Structure 1
């Protein structure tokens, strides 16, 4: 008996007003949000498949629907958060424009303060043994290139331009990590002033 196969162009099955793909995306978002909550409370070490599922109110079947492992979930989440940090920096990093340095610094600080969970994941957790090392190594060049190609475009020597960008990116990451974990006591205004002064120092050093 011949059974007619559905056409590839057929409409997706609707259940409860949503398609299967939409329901999967909702579950995936819930798992990512649950992981962020756990990171905000106890760090990335608290993120396990069972803990994430329990927080999201889902079974492990739905976890593996979206992620092959806990490490993959953290990798995906870290990259999403990194993109959120990169976006405002890209918008304000006008080529070699000192007049925008304070606006860029303020936007970066505001982003750090906007969601402590995301800031902890992006700026603190890579310094602990959470399995994020390789992901951080893969993501950070985008931030270095932004600094190198925009903030320090005036530096003609490519080696010096690269040195300035790498040093500033890694130094700021360490500074924010110390600030967020409480080992660096400074106000928002002090951090903004420091960022502006640091950019100016590099501009002067290699001009």
Structure 2
């Protein structure tokens, strides 16, 4: 029997597709643990496969190189962060002021950041890897800043016209402040209480959004 034929067979009620999905999931979970602990640069395909409990050959069925796994893990981390914010947005009292809304959304966001593996991947391990990873990081940060600022704008009124106000730069400023705070909070071993971090950043965001009020 060839390897292809063997790969297509079911074992223990698990189809070939299910096996592939399970192994990919195991590699993603292992990637988060390894990149989030020893770091991306110290990771090897063999070490990742051992952590995932899969044979080395299965790695290359899903990823060309460790950079591809890093990007996949990073994408899942960003999805967790974004989903936490979006879910919090759905529960916001529409009559709340901007500061209260920011605190509610950010509390959910920073709760996810309390996972040190995720925090290290998002704010440490994707930096300086390659132009492709760097561009992905910058695009993701800008998109999240635009999402958050755009949402808060609905509580602040319309943006006034004028040549001196650049909403894209405001989004960059917002996510820059959040991102740097998240990184330093992680590096401090989460020394400050989450509520203090959230209250501080919420105040900053309220001040950023304030000029957008009509």
| TM-score normalised by L of structure 2 | 0.80
Over aligned residues, Cα RMSD in angstroms?
A: 2.4
Deviations 1:9-31 (A, max 9, x none): xxx74221110000011111111
Structure 2 gap ranges (5+): 1-7
Q: Does 1:196 align with 2:195?
A: no
- Cα distance in 2 for residues equivalent to 1:155 and 1:88: 26
Partner of 1:56: 52
Aligned equivalent of 2:34, options 13, 30, 38: 38
- Cα distance in 1 for residues equivalent to 2:126 and 2:58: 27
Aligned equivalent of 1:25, options 12, 17, 21: 21
Could you list the structure 1 runs, at least 4 aligned residues long, displaced by more than 4 angstroms after superposition. Answer: 94-97
- Cα distance in 1 for residues equivalent to 2:190 and 2:22: 38
Q: Contact 2:153/2:212 (CA < 8 Å) preserved in 1?
A: no
Partner of 1:161: 167
Structure 1 gap ranges (5+): 1-11
Q: Does 1:137 align with 2:138?
A: yes
| TM-score normalised by L of structure 1 | 0.82
Q: Contact 1:97/1:151 (CA < 8 Å) preserved in 2?
A: no
- Count, aligned residues: 194
Gap change, CA 1:161 and 1:40, over 3 Å in 2: same
